[in-house]
Amino acid sequence: MEQQSRDFLRLADEAIASPERSENREMLGAFMPTLREKAVKDFGGNEDFDALRNDVKAIRQHALEHLGHYLETFTRNARENGSSVNFARNGDELNEIVLDICARSEASRVAKGKSMITEETGLNGALEAAGFSVRETDLGEYIIQEAGETPSHIVGPALHKTQSEIRELFLERHQLGERDLASAGEMVAEARQVLREDFLAAEVGIIGSNALIAENGYSMLVTNEGNGDLCANLPPVLIICTSIDRILPRTDDAMAMLRLLVRSTTGQAVSCYTSFYAGPRRPGDVDGPLETHFVLLDNKRSDILASDYAEMLQCIRCGACLNHCPVYMSAGGHAYGWVYPGPMGSVLTPLLTSLEESYLLPDACTACGRCEEVCPASIPLPGLLRDLRHEAFTEGITATRWRLGIGLHGWLARHPRLYQKVTGFAVSVMHRLGRRRGVIRKLPFAGGWLEARDLPTPAAKTFQQEHQDSLEQ
């Protein structure tokens, strides 16, 4: 997927101005905030939720601190189960390994389950360029594949689409005859009908993984549609693409993570399907793939693990931070310009690509702190975003006018007497400007900020001036 994070401001402006996105925003705005409340209630209150959060955090931290050991254990056990385990240093390597497996299988059709890792590596484009036909089988992924778009949310890839947009899309792309797809149920049935043929015809199935379990070499996958199981069990060849940080020591650890993941993602107590893939079909098995291949992506994750941002690897990809982020909810996922949007994307994108390309993303934050509050992995997202902003500033990546402004503010803050004089003067001018209307609608250097909001007229004096006056009286 081509990275456009440099265009964040333009893409966000366009999304905010779009009438379709406005309709979509209202719908999501009413739905999303209830998810966390439901999760906490299901656990019997904040205490139990926080206790499990701490346990899972400790498990993830331990797994990442011993990543090499657990990857080795996983690899040994998965190979003993009959799977092949491949490691890819970057996206191109992952794509090459998958292409090679597909070519060796003499495949022409691939059925795919939802996988953000393959979005990260641009696998669909690579497969299609090599002549393979690829069908996304998760309903949301199928919709955006038909629309020629990219996911806007890590859990609900087509959340940006309204029901009427999806209906129009199906009317245009499918041979429908008399059927007019008046309800959501009819659209789902339509997609199911189309996808059924793809499941049966595909020679290769590709899926992602929510957890790699070291103690037995299994992979756990959580879905609500069951499409992952069809991709995994119907085609003769199964490829599981995921990243090295998905490793967990034991099945019990995966179950603990599952309890947090599902509640934080959709507010459900448990997902419709939780599947464990143990390798290729064994003698006596009635179904299952004839071959199972793991492709495990690094793509700078080893570097992140050794950096001050290592905590970000504890992310369990639940999407809760997106659902509660005012910036994501206004701008939508496509504005972030790459695979991972919202607060987690604003941290991950600069780390997985480059800060030069995506330095605007850490600024896309109101510092409200809601993302950290709802994150089931307790990742200090606002702190990590602040660290990235600091890094962009110190490395000279931040735009010159911002650097000058922040530098000037920093210098003034180190000279308190001058700072008080300058702020006192500015406040008295602003007071005079807005006295009559009660609000200020224009200010030099703050045009963008005032475009969508009014600034209440400040008092005639700063708090410190008032305090000084009261001492002198």
The binding site for ligand SF4 (CB under 6 A) comprises 315-321, 344, 374-377, 379, 381
Nearer to ligand SF4, 324 or 334 (CB): 324
Q: How far is the CB of 115 from ligand SF4 (least distance, A)?
A: 16
Nearer to ligand SF4, 12 or 325 (CB): 325
Nearer to ligand SF4, 208 or 319 (CB): 319
Nearer to ligand SF4, 116 or 278 (CB): 116
The strand pair at 133-136 and 211-213 is best described as unpaired
Residues 6+ apart with CB under 8 A from 31: none
Q: How far is the CB of 220 from ligand SF4 (least distance, A)?
A: 16
Angle at 257 (CA atoms; ends 255, 259), nearest 5 degrees: 75
Q: How far is the CB of 340 from ligand SF4 (least distance, A)?
A: 9
Q: Is the distance from CB of 295 to CB of 239 less than 8 angstroms?
A: yes
Nearer to ligand SF4, 107 or 244 (CB): 244
Q: How far is the CB of 129 from ligand SF4 (least distance, A)?
A: 31
Q: How far is the CB of 116 from ligand SF4 (least distance, A)?
A: 10
Nearer to ligand SF4, 318 or 392 (CB): 318
Nearer to ligand SF4, 297 or 344 (CB): 344
Q: How far is the CB of 326 from ligand SF4 (least distance, A)?
A: 15
Q: How far is the CB of 307 from ligand SF4 (least distance, A)?
A: 17
Nearer to ligand SF4, 66 or 317 (CB): 317
Cβ atoms < 10 Å from Cβ of 247? 25
| b/e per residue 175-212 (b: at least 16 CB within 10 A) | eeeeeebeeeeebeebbeebbeebbeebbbbbbbbbbb
Q: How far is the CB of 33 from ligand SF4 (least distance, A)?
A: 14
Q: How far is the CB of 372 from ligand SF4 (least distance, A)?
A: 8
Nearer to ligand SF4, 39 or 88 (CB): 39
